[in-house]
Structure 1
Amino acid sequence: MTRIIGRTIGRIGLLILFFIAYQLVSLLLINATNTAAKAPLVSSEFLLYTTIAGSLLLVGFMLLYRRQLRGENPRQFGFTTLTFKRVALFIAYFAAMLGVQLLWEQLIIHHILPSPQNQTMIEQAVNKLPLWNNFYDVFAAPIFEEFIFRGFFFNYFFNRKTKRTAILGILVSGLIFGFLHTLDFSVSTLLYSSLGWILAGAYLYFKDLRYPIGLHVLNNFLSII
């Protein structure tokens, strides 16, 4: 029992460490964004640091994830073959995410909900440094977040091959995903969590991290056009 508790605490610590590393990369880009107008050379240096740190973090995540898949992997996560059925279901999952986004947009337009602070900050950053922030928000952030909230999270805490474990894992993964995007408990948190639940469901169904990454990328791409 003591061994299980110690291992769980260690994995929670690792997951927090991964998230902090991801936030540090984001912080480098924020500094580049904030200095872009007044100090272009300083901004360029921060962009270089962002690229190096982001690349190293991505390689580290990929290596660790592959190591996990070769070890304890009862759900048989890995890289699956693309089929017509999988493409059709991928489209269905994306349609569900699009439905959540459209509902969210209507609630904001009709002043039922305020625009999420997270989204406002993203828009402000894009206005200051469009190319880099759009690339980061559409491609880099979804990849990092799917490794953390789906790949590592399920392998660490919900890898037992039972229906109950799957449902609980989806619920907890989505709630954490939502909370860390709003840092409070509100209706906006619920909407972010809904996207997280869809992404977690896709990961468990397809058993391939590339599918939730693809869904996340498409979702973020639509949000900037």
Structure 2
Amino acid sequence: MWLKKNGLYVLLAISVVLAVLGVATSNFIFKSGTAGMGIIIILVLNMGLKKSAKDTWWILAAFLFSIIGDWFLSNMNGDSLMFVKGIALFFLAHVGYLLYALANGRIKEVFTSILLAAYLAFFFLVLYPTFTDVSLMVASLVYLLISCFSLGAAMGMKSNPTAKRSFILGIVLIIFSDTIIAFKEFVDYHTFDFLITPTYYLAHIFITFSLIKRFESNVPTSN
């Protein structure tokens, strides 16, 4: 148990190093490192269990979709179709986060309603006037909705307090990074562009850390 626990933190430290390299370079191996290392850690977490924690596979799938989605966005070169495909894959990643959270709790309805109202106002007042591509507009709106629901579900999780806070922070960082991307791509506002990748990588690290803390607290796994 001690070796496994400390080994997980070594892997998490490697994830941090990959995040730094991902920010400093354009190498896709490094850019996908935090999600990739998260997948490895999830597999290690499940190795020692008599019965795998099935809900953690939703996070594994989310990380996998994130890697593929990041590839589309990294190679879009102004192609709106590539951007839509990237959004679709990140949508699936959020579905994974949402299902994991719901497997460990329930959605916070009041919080989610307030969050939805705020982001829908942002969408229709700030982003909507900039769209010329209907498919891109629809994809962005659907992605916004799933992002709000995944955070609302994270807020309602019943888990080790540290694990829950870390998971919530991870989802918040993803939404924060996506909001900056929205300003960059649709409003042509670039002041905070430098925060896009660091917050995105930190999100993966905090979500992975959340799973490690859950493992340490011996929280019963969902079936």
TM-score, normalised to structure 2, is: 0.36
Larger C-alpha radius of gyration, 1 or 2? 1
TM-score, normalised to structure 1, is: 0.35
